[in-house]
């Protein structure tokens, strides 16, 4: 990643978090209507059906995907199978505000992941920004009073969201390093569909495990159907498409 950010790049990187904030609200709204991991699976299964007509012959034997399937399977695990499943699990016990605030610490995890795992140099300005980011999140959680910091208590959902944020930081760095096959990488729908298809396999396996552990039954309603339509389009296809382009340009 370079240090130059254009207005377009800033827009591409700003819109997805706004859509993901809506995803947190919707996830909390339906948290008692279906299990969280199943919600993640249904979300991405619907998104894949929408992407298929746009993705072209991405799954043909000669498309090149299968020569690089390990890279796309890893992207699918981190970005599709893990991130939102952990977020929806977080929303079982945490609030959309807390989940969004924890997620706002993403720049810190991005910096640490890049430095520790990808050998990316970290500037003093980036460290200062990371410290300010953490301080801002803590201050908001403490309701503007530093004396409340020692009273803060993390619920299990907050810990799930921290894990989700770490998974997303790895996903974002790997996203910049997967460049083959070139034809697939050049088409945003094909590139995303490849990740989603393999990610759906991960999320489906996780959903089966959730059911085996005794998850509650789904309570179907128009509210749930509307929620699925939203999470499969805005914070899934649109947000991932913009984020991928923004990360490449940054």
Tens of pLDDT along 152-198? 666 788 888 889 988 988 888 888 787 777 667 777 888 888 899 99
Higher pLDDT, 15 or 154: 15
| Distance (Å, whole) CA 186 – CA 181 | 9
Can you tell me the mean pLDDT for 124-145? 71
pLDDT band for position 241 (50/70/90)?
confident
pLDDT of residue 145: 62
Residue 21 has pLDDT above 50, yes or no: yes
What pTM was estimated for this model as a whole?
A: 0.81
The answer, yes or no, to whether residue 5 has pLDDT greater than 90, is: no
pLDDT tens-digit readout, 210-222:
999 888 888 999 9
Pair 130, 108: CB distance under 8 Å = yes
> In this predicted model, which residue has the larger pLDDT, 143 or 228?
228
Helices (H), the chain: 7-29, 36-55, 69-75, 83-90, 96-103, 106-118, 124-141, 156-175, 182-186, 188-212, 222-232, 239-249
Residue 248: other Cβ atoms inside 10 A:
15
pLDDT of residue 2: 46
pLDDT surpasses 70 at 80: yes
């Amino acid at each position: 990643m370079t240090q130059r950010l254009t207005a377009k790049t800033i827009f591409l990187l700003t819109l997805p978090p706004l859509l993901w904030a809506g995803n947190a609200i919707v996830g909390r709204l339906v948290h008692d209507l279906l299990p969280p991991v199943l919600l993640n699976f249904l979300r991405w299964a619907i998104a894949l059906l929408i992407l298929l007509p746009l993705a072209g012959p991405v799954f043909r034997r000669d498309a090149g995907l299968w020569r690089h399937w390990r890279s796309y399977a890893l992207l699918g695990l981190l970005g599709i199978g893990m991130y939102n499943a952990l977020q929806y699990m977080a929303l079982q016990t945490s609030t959309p505000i807390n989940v969004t605030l924890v997620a706002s610490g993403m720049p810190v995890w991005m910096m640490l992941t890049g430095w520790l795992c990808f050998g990316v140099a970290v500037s003093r300005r980036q460290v200062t920004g990371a410290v300010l980011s953490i301080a801002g999140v803590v201050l908001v959680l403490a309701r503007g009073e530093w004396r409340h910091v020692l009273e803060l208590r993390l619920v299990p959902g907050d810990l799930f969201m921290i894990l989700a944020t770490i998974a997303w930081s790895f996903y974002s760095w790997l996203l910049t390093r997967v460049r083959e096959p070139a034809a697939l990488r050049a088409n945003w729908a094909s590139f995303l569909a490849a990740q989603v298809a393999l990610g759906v396999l991960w999320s489906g396996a996780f959903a089966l495990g959730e059911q085996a552990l005794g998850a509650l039954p789904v309570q179907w309603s128009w509210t749930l159907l509307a929620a699925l339509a939203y999470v499969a389009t805005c914070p899934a296809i649109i947000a991932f498409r913009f984020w991928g382009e923004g990360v490449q340009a940054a």
